[in-house]
Copies of this chain bind each other. A is one copy, B any other.
Amino acid sequence: MERLLAEEKVFKDPVHKSVYVQDELIWNLINSREFQRLRRIRQLGTSYLTFHGAEHSRFSHSLGVYEITRRIISQFERNAYKDWPREERLPALCAALLHDLGHGPFSHSIEAVFDTDHEDWTCRIIMGETEVNQILREVDEQFPARVAAIIKKQYDKPIVVNLVSSQMDADRMDYLLRDAYFTGVHYGTFDLERILRVLRPHQGRIVVKESGMHAVEDYLMSRYQMYWQIYFHPVTRSSEIILRHIFGRAKELYHNGYQFEWLPLPILKLFQGDLTTSDYFLLDEALAQTVFMAWSDERDEWLSDLCRRFLHRRLYKDVIVSDHNEALFEEAREQLRQAGLHPDYHLEVDFPFDLPYDVYRLDARSGKKDNEKPPILLLDSEGGLSEISARSDIIRSLTGLHQDKHRWYFPDDLLRPVAHRLDSRIRAIFGY
């Protein structure tokens, strides 16, 4: 089952120096068309508009997650830890490599507008009629389902799920380091080698040796800093808002019977909500950008304006609104409407929030208990376990919701000329 390559393959990677592939299966998966497609999806969506270095793809991230997983497992095997189920090596590596396979272009925006889910798509691609599926089936007929189960966090061995998706998993470790490298900031750098050295398989899950507590603090702080400095950067949020509006406006137009000059099939199917796996394969960032370029000349002025803003980076401005509330926002919308702007497309409120470390296992959006995110446990020398935030002030300060002030986003160039038509209170908020 575990056929090794005659000669180890090595990818040069700026973050991990080298990514090593020893298994024929992994090599074949990397060479599948579905995996190669990840080269055409940026890892950080629109962040390159804020940090110009952030042009790296999900392809390189996926290789990185695979490599970290490989190093962890190899360390478990080298030390012959008995709580690590050796037969799970290959499924774990496949899940690590493939976990982001279902990401589309600018996933966050598309998922928000079309109610799709990249994890579902990952599993559809793994289970569907694809090259990836065929390669996985060579192991055995059940193998694709096994890999999909790990990704859906429904696998019967939680330790494997833990490795690939938990509060300190290979996915997060890679993206923090990688996003830090490509944006050029330092906040995301933590000592990966040290973290790897303190992980232990223990009674069906991954825990951390007690002496690694400060290393985990360091990792969680990196995560916290990356969220606030990079992922939630107002310029990035602004471009995401515009993207969401592009898709929203186009969808609205489509459902109103508007005739587009050019509407390629995968986009049409997206509007209709019946994308197949092979349509999905065509839906990459090259297509999205080409569509936006075409739509820059559409007759609908809102759509074309939004597309031009995105392509030429003429983003919405943001202001902090300390006393934001629903009524105030509605009032502003109404005044914008009266001033000739489109309240749905020209005003947006945003307040990012993050749970850097979730001891209560709550889902950030729904507020419901989420058993998929077990807390990080410390293993002491006597074999006792303790939840990490009980031991560290630092980590305790990272539990619970961290949230930014409310910011309003709007097109300064459109609003400024008609600002005199807003009443003084609203005008003051916009800074006119």
* Interface positions of A (Cβ within 8 A of B): 10-15, 17-18, 31, 33, 36, 39-40, 48-49, 51-53, 55-57, 59-60, 63, 181-187, 189-191, 193, 197, 214, 217-218, 221, 224-225, 228-229, 282, 284-290, 293, 311-314, 393-394, 396-398, 402
Contact = CB atoms under 8 A, between A and B. Distances in A.
Nearest to A287: B290
B228 A214 contact: yes
Contacts of A221: 217-218, 221, 394
A398 B402 contact: no
- Which DSSP category, helix, strand, loop or mixed, fits chain A's interface? helix
A321 to B, nearest CB: 14
Q: How many copies does the complex hold?
A: 4
Given A39-B55, A218-B225, 13 more contacts: A10-B197, A12-B53, A14-B182, A31-B313, A48-B57, A221-B221, A284-B293, A286-B293, A287-B290, A290-B290, A393-B397, A394-B398, A396-B397
Contact of A52 (B53, B60, B398): B60
A198 to B, nearest CB: 11
Nearest to A16: B184
A191 B184 contact: no
Contacts of A190: 186
Across the A-B interface, the 9 shortest Cβ-Cβ residue pairs: A14-B184, A397-B397, A286-B289, A33-B312, A290-B290, A14-B53, A286-B286, A52-B60, A393-B397
Contact of A229 (B214, B224, B313): B214
A170 to B, nearest CB: 17
10 contacts: A14-B181, A31-B313, A31-B314, A33-B311, A52-B57, A187-B214, A189-B189, A290-B290, A393-B402, A394-B398
A82 B348 CA distance: 39
A187 B181 contact: no
Contacts of A33: 311-312
A204 B187 CA distance: 31
Nearest to A78: B8
Contacts of A398: 393-394
Contact of A214 (B55, B225, B393): B225
A210 to B, nearest CB: 11
Contact of A60 (B36, B39, B55): B55
Contacts of A293: 282, 284, 286-287
A189 B222 CA distance: 12
A205 to B, nearest CB: 23
Contacts of A197: 10
